[in-house]
Amino acid sequence: MISPVKIWRRQKEIRKVLGKKGKILTWTKIFTPGSDFKKYAPYPVVLVKLENKEKIYGQLVDCEEKNLKIGQEVISVLRKVRASSEEGVIAYGIKFKPMK
């Protein structure tokens, strides 16, 4: 499990990216994830070029694979990334969802 201190330190980076729009440059599907993410597999991960030209990657949510395409506009959202830790802290992070 990730420590509460690491979660707290990551907040500043998350705030910089939250709500930013961008376009999918490429994507892949994860079939063999790490132990914390096995229940989500398989899931798509996208590389996104944000409006400020920064490139970041993250999981794509709220989208069926048949609707996924390169060049698609997405927005970064805050979502739960792991189950709560022994201390009861729930880790949240950036994921992407399609623009409507």
- Residue 65 sits in a domain whose CATH number is 2.40.50
Per-residue pLDDT at 2 exceeds 70: no
What's the pTM?
0.84
- Cβ neighbors of 6 (< 8 A, separation 6 or more) are none
**Domain of 58, in residue numbers:** 4-98
Paired residues of 27 in beta bridges: 46
Q: In what order do the strands lie in the sheet with 92-98?
A: 55-59, 43-50, 21-30, 73-80, 92-98
Six token digits for residue 82: 């792991």
Per-residue pLDDT at 85 exceeds 70: no
Q: Residues 36-71: pLDDT tens digits?
A: 788 888 999 999 999 999 999 999 999 999 999 999
What is the residue type of 19? G
Q: How far apart are CA 14 and CA 35, in angstroms?
A: 23
Total of domains in the chain: 1
